[in-house]
Structure 1
Amino acid sequence: MSAADISSVREVNFDGLVGPTHNYSGLAVGNVASMSHGGLVSNPKEGALQGLLKMKSLMDAGYAQGVLPPQQRPDIGALRDLGFSGSNGEVLARASKEAPQLLRAVCSASSMWTANAGTITPSIDAPDSRVHFTPANLQSSFHRYLEPQTTGCVLKAIFRDEQHFCHHPVLPATPAFSDEGAANHTRLCGEHGEPGVHLFVYGRQAFGDVRSGEREPKHYPARQTLEASQAVARQHGLTEAQTVFAQQHPDAIDAGVFHNDVIAVGNGPVLLYHEMAFLDEEGTLDELRTKMASPLIPVRVPLEAVSMEDAVASYLFNSQLLSNPDGTMTLVVPGECQEREAVWRTIQDYLLAGNNPISEVVVKDVKQSMRNGGGPACLRLRVVLTEAERAALSGRVLLTNALYTDLTAWVERHYRVRLAPDDLADPQLAEESLAALDELTQLLKIGPVYPFQLG
């Protein structure tokens, strides 16, 4: 790839739209924010508008920004598969009475966190020079296990051109191949258009002899397996020289770090991480240094500066780390970082004043997402694309001022301002959601991707 071609490569952040059934059901075991806010009243309209405003502000700042649609919810088909019958209203009413937790699960708007949608390998790293996609099976929780089929349909609808894009099957939905997508994957490189090294972080090993020194968390489940990460790497044709597999620190998982992107974020040559991110910190850094063509720039935040409680509550490491044309980087943090004195002091005195490329911190309000345990980094799927690959995208999914205006008006038309867990049984909510999604697929020009559209 020539210097001109390298400079045309851009990382596009595809943010997930917050869905019409966004609610607080406390479904995610190990996600402290989700569990602590379970049962509260949500505001789907505010959540969707907060997400769109974040996308718009980053687009205005010059970053490439895309949009991914939410899933069809409530997933009445899943309830029917579990033995509920009758009209849609009858199915919802019976589930609400007999299995309210199932009803909450099939109404979850968790697909907004597109960092879990799948794992992506850019064409510069793939042996066939195509962008590779593997949707995550998300088998560790029922409400997310419902997502992969539609996620695959959406990705294939947008990244349709087989000359540029390659789609792989979801891994077997078993505990041995538990896969949570890009939330446990980071690509490190010099510039986006240069070959990179893929850091896969896992919580446990399913088969064979456990590696020396490895141990599992005692309180919360480890959601990503080594075997799943290795399988995705094989699907994408990545070699040993291109990959590093590191175990997440089990004590961090027990503290509420359910995904690695809650404790570390990387971009280009920079790896911003908490000292409790990896079980073998030095071994992980040494292997990255050995395999990367460009020097690794580790930015380590010690425990004495930010406690695990503050890291999880503020989501400092679930921030977006974005590259600027002048070689500096911008860190996009949730507003909760300002509410924790130790975190805000660390940002000002350690990150911004430190010897690293981070030169700016931007604060964004994504409280509706944060209360369910998802910060700015959870809301986006990173896809590195060449100019030709961006031109090959199908649909109207790259954000523009016109698309932002249309999506904002769409949210205003279709979303409720108040949603309590008891409202999920309302058959009118299901009808409102289907009408909204049907209109959205037309607005985005992606064609039919939902079960109710596909028949």
Structure 2
Amino acid sequence: MDHFEANFDGLVGPTHNYAGLSFGNVASLNNADASSNPKAAAKQGLEKAKAIGQLGLVQGMLAPQERPDLYTLRRMGFSGSDADVLAKAAKQAPLLLNACCSASSMWTANAATVSPSSDTFDNKLHFTPANLVDKLHRSIEPITTSHILTATFNDSRYFSHHQHLPEHASFGDEGAANHTRLCGDYGHKGLELFVYGREATNPNSIQPKKYPARQTLEASQAIARSHGLNDAQTIFIQQNPAVIDQGVFHNDVIAVGNQNVLFYHEQAFLNTQEKLAEIQQKFTQTCNRPLHFIEVPTDKVSIQDAVSTYLFNTQIITLPSGEMAIIAPTNCAENPAVKAYLDEVVTLGTPIKQVHYFDVKQSMQNGGGPACLRLRVAMNAVEVAAVNPNTLMNDSLFTTLNIWVDKHYRDRLSINDLADPQLIIESRTALDELTQIMNLGSVYQFQR
């Protein structure tokens, strides 16, 4: 194989906590104020990443961001020593402190939108960090995300890094969580699907009533332009506002695609049949392979079950054998309706032949499943060789990162602990050591 889809998983940060910051994310809200286990969360993520690598895929890791984010707290008017800043924020603006302690960068499906070199105008692999303007705790991520991506994909001969879109509601961008790529083979031209929740410049467009639509059409169009994608290879499709109001805050909570398979709930999109016809037409023109639509009916899996188990926030991966496998959270196996459907899906005559279950409950309780934890990067062998090798998973890195987690992470963290000045020291010490392990340079220095 000379073309791959690599998965770069987010390494869970030392301040992983349940502050319930994400309005519209049912799991995040339901578990607000519970105590978390950062050590267990990081180890669960590492176990999943190692297992994907052992299945024969290229697997990498993306570093977490520095939290507490004192740089942002100081910009918000808090001054004095680091301990003073934390104490003042805890007393005067506790919700702001919670936002500046969030470990949400672990969900790297929101880190960026990625277009492979086979699709782009200059035959380079393009990255645009998401601006994440809809949520304060995530809107502080893009600059550091850009530094981390650049330190990971650091050869300008092959990789093109864009600045995140303007930080305005009209250009709300949530990254790859609302982007799916279909193709024949990873190294050939593919079809890039951009799923949006609303049209910011069209006051008459259909929008959800209860929860926000985070991704805009305008943002999706801007990224397609900057990546140099042509019209024949792009489709813009609107998410069903009714499912957003039921907790489907990103498209990857209701649909997922891989190569020539699109796996989605029957209520996922607006104008479904029209858009599926457009996908079929463009796919046929671009890709020399049959396309499989797997539509999950409501009478087999309800929206509530899909959201609570993250059936669609699973990874669909192509194994070296050519068969596809679903990487699902153990929550799916614990739900009778969802487990029955997954048992059925491997018998439908599509490329999906296996289901593997992983315990990522620490992430799930905060609103992110297996697919949230990874950024998909379709690459050729030359591009893989150009990646920072210290970020690629192998037995040595797995062992080193587990030792690092054991050394630096707490096994219990409550909301009240976020004001502990010792947490700053622990987090910075951990990340300074991580920059040496992963050869990341000075990615955190601007925050200090």
TM range (shorter): over 0.9
Give the conservation status (yes or no) of the 8 Å contact 2:22–2:29: yes
Does residue 222 (structure 1) correspond to residue 213 (structure 2)? The answer is yes
Give the AA of the match of 2:350: N
Q: In the alignment, what sits opposite 2:291?
A: 296
CA distance in 2, matches of 1:338, 1:161: 41
Give the conservation status (yes or no) of the 8 Å contact 1:335–1:363: yes
Which piece of structure 1 moves more, 222-231 or 163-172? 163-172
Q: In the alignment, what sits opposite 2:310?
A: 315
Give the conservation status (yes or no) of the 8 Å contact 2:15–2:38: yes
The residue correspondences of 1:416-455 to structure 2 (distance < 5 A) are: 416-451=410-445
CA distance in 2, matches of 1:170, 1:63: 29
Does residue 339 (structure 1) correspond to residue 334 (structure 2)? The answer is yes
| TM superposition shift of 1:357 | 1.1
| TM superposition shift of 1:208 | 4.2
List per-residue Cα deviations over 1:313-343 (Å, max 9, x = no partner).
0000000000023331000000111121111
Q: In the alignment, what sits opposite 1:34?
A: 28
Return the match for 2:262 from 271, 282, 290. Answer: 271
Identity over the aligned pairs, expressed in percent?
Answer: 55
CA distance in 2, matches of 1:368, 1:382: 22
CA distance in 1, matches of 2:67, 2:320: 40
Give the conservation status (yes or no) of the 8 Å contact 1:178–1:228: yes
Give the conservation status (yes or no) of the 8 Å contact 2:55–2:319: no
CA distance in 2, matches of 1:209, 1:100: 35
SS of the counterpart of 2:99?
Answer: helix
Q: In the alignment, what sits opposite 2:223?
A: 232
The residue correspondences of 1:78-227 to structure 2 (distance < 5 A) are: 78-208=72-202, 210=204, 214-227=205-218
CA distance in 2, matches of 1:36, 1:145: 22
The residue correspondences of 1:243-258 to structure 2 (distance < 5 A) are: 243-258=234-249
CA distance in 2, matches of 1:209, 1:55: 43
Q: In the alignment, what sits opposite 2:371?
A: 377
CA distance in 2, matches of 1:289, 1:220: 31
Does residue 357 (structure 1) correspond to residue 351 (structure 2)? The answer is yes
SS of the counterpart of 1:309?
Answer: helix
Structure 2 stretches lacking a partner, 5+ long = none
Q: In the alignment, what sits opposite 2:323?
A: 328
Give the conservation status (yes or no) of the 8 Å contact 1:289–1:295: no
CA distance in 2, matches of 1:395, 1:144: 28
Which piece of structure 1 moves more, 285-294 or 312-321? 285-294
Q: In the alignment, what sits opposite 1:287?
A: 278
CA distance in 1, matches of 2:203, 2:121: 31
List per-residue Cα deviations over 1:412-454 (Å, max 9, x = no partner).
00000000000000000011000000000100012110135x7
CA distance in 2, matches of 1:325, 1:284: 31
**Superposed structure 1 runs of 4+ greater than 2 Å apart:** none
The residue correspondences of 1:40-59 to structure 2 (distance < 5 A) are: 40-59=34-53
Give the conservation status (yes or no) of the 8 Å contact 2:264–2:296: yes
SS of the counterpart of 1:313?
Answer: helix
Return the match for 2:66 from 72, 88, 91. Answer: 72
Structure 1 stretches lacking a partner, 5+ long = 1-6
SS of the counterpart of 1:26?
Answer: coil
Give the AA of the match of 2:442: P
CA distance in 2, matches of 1:237, 1:58: 31
Which piece of structure 1 moves more, 407-416 or 55-64? 55-64
The residue correspondences of 1:378-417 to structure 2 (distance < 5 A) are: 378-417=372-411
| TM superposition shift of 1:221 | 0.3
CA distance in 2, matches of 1:357, 1:123: 25
List per-residue Cα deviations over 1:378-428 (Å, max 9, x = no partner).
000001111111111125011010010000000000000000000000000
Give the conservation status (yes or no) of the 8 Å contact 2:56–2:320: no
Matched residue count: 444
List per-residue Cα deviations over 1:266-325 (Å, max 9, x = no partner).
000100000111111111211111111233211010011000110000000000000023
CA distance in 2, matches of 1:209, 1:267: 34
Indicate the RMSD between aligned Cα atoms, in angstroms: 1.1
CA distance in 2, matches of 1:272, 1:71: 32
Q: In the alignment, what sits opposite 1:3?
A: none
